[in-house]
Amino acid sequence: MSANNGLTGALETTTLPIAMTISAFTAIAWYLVIDLNVVIWMTFKRRHGLYFYSLLCASWGIALFALAFLMKFFNIWENPYISCTFITIGWYAMVTGQSLVLYSRLHLVVHDKRNIRWVLYMIITSVVLFHFPTTVMTFGANSDKADLFATPYSIMEKIQVTAFCIQEFIISGLYIYATRQILKPGGTFQKKRTRQVMMHLIYVNVIVMLMDITLLGTEYANLYEIQITFKSALYSVKLRLEFAVLNQLRSLVFPGDGSGGNQSSSNHNHQSRPREGTALRTLQGQGHQADEAAQSNNYTCFASSNKPSPLSRRGEDDTRVIIATEVVVKTEDASKTNQGAGTRTDIVANGRTSRQNGKLSPSSSEVEFANAGY
């Protein structure tokens, strides 16, 4: 195995185009890392949770990984063990951190906790099976026994790149499958923005999978120095795309939250929500009687939550369905409110409307938030 491609030690010989390519990919990675960190610190108001920390970990890992390989290739850090130490730390943070970013938002579209748990097990297993052995090979290939470790390291490098690409294929595939399942009911409840965000989620994950295929191509072509620097640029692009679309997805599922997308748990402050009723909207009268209605009537809608909706699944946190029993439409005649009369309450339940004066009906109905697109 020739050592002039940077597999063992520094680049012994290189050409100007290859050196410029290495520098260009490193510059792209650093630029996107700086841009992403600025956006992260400006976006997040509550800086905690798996999503926040995995984003920082992955982005800083990309920068460290690119820097360490640049120092190694051009022999700026003459001690190979220093380079390998920083390469390994950056590689762990970059690759596994990226998977954790996707994992931390998977509950927004996948509501089967078993599937989410298996994804976590897969990430942990990958660390043990592919990170640890490759680390040993990396230090061995850059030690005094480089000739002994060069070939095993080259083989292990291909195995681990393939394994981590397959891992991202699986996670991206789950996003695509779950999103398509959500979009199946059509436009009955889903608004334009919902479908747009969901389609963006599919597109981004397809692009991520295509990027991983190009990375595999450079690896199996034995372009080690190109593959390594291309990997850092590729992961920075993927992380930037995923950050954008996952933030859109979270704002769709939890509208109006001021956390900047920083909620790693699917519970999302359930205990802080009102239990007696949730105000929906106050509408002025419109339609063919708009003028008369606007002058005399106000319509107030709210959802009561005395009973769980049958659409919510037991033992699962299904944020798509609000726990509600009734939709109450209260009509007030402004011309008669001073006399204490003219108030009518309409109970909408199971497709039927019953009217009462000041007393709620015990009948229940299923209320879904069309605004969330489910």
Phi and psi dihedrals of 221, rounded to 5?
Answer: -85, 0
pTM for this prediction: 0.67
pLDDT for the residue numbered 198: 83
Confidence at 256, pLDDT banded by 50, 70, 90: low
pLDDT for the residue numbered 361: 44
- Determine the CATH number of domain 16-253: 1.20.1070
Indicate whether 359 pLDDT > 70.
no
Closest Cα to residue 23, out of 312, 226, 256, 246?
A: 226
pLDDT tens digit sequence for 263-275: 444 333 333 343 3
Q: Which residue has the higher pLDDT, 173 or 332?
A: 173
Q: Where are the domains of the chain?
A: 16-253, 273-372
Indicate whether 234 pLDDT > 50.
yes
**For the chain, what is the mean pLDDT?**
74
pLDDT for the residue numbered 68: 92
Burial class, 100, CB count within 10 angstroms (exposed 0-12 / middle 13-18 / buried 19+): buried
Beta strands in 275-320 (DSSP E): 277-284, 297-304
Confidence at 225, pLDDT banded by 50, 70, 90: confident
Question: In the sheet that 343-349 helps form, which strands lie side by side, from edge to edge?
Answer: 277-284, 297-304, 326-333, 343-349, 352-356
Indicate whether 216 pLDDT > 50.
yes
Q: What mean pLDDT do residues 203-211 have?
A: 90
Cα separation, 334 vs 143, in Å, equals 86
pLDDT for the residue numbered 190: 56
Q: What mean pLDDT do residues 75-103 have?
A: 92
Indicate whether 224 pLDDT > 60.
yes
Cα separation, 374 vs 330, in Å, equals 26
CA-based radius of gyration for the chain:
28
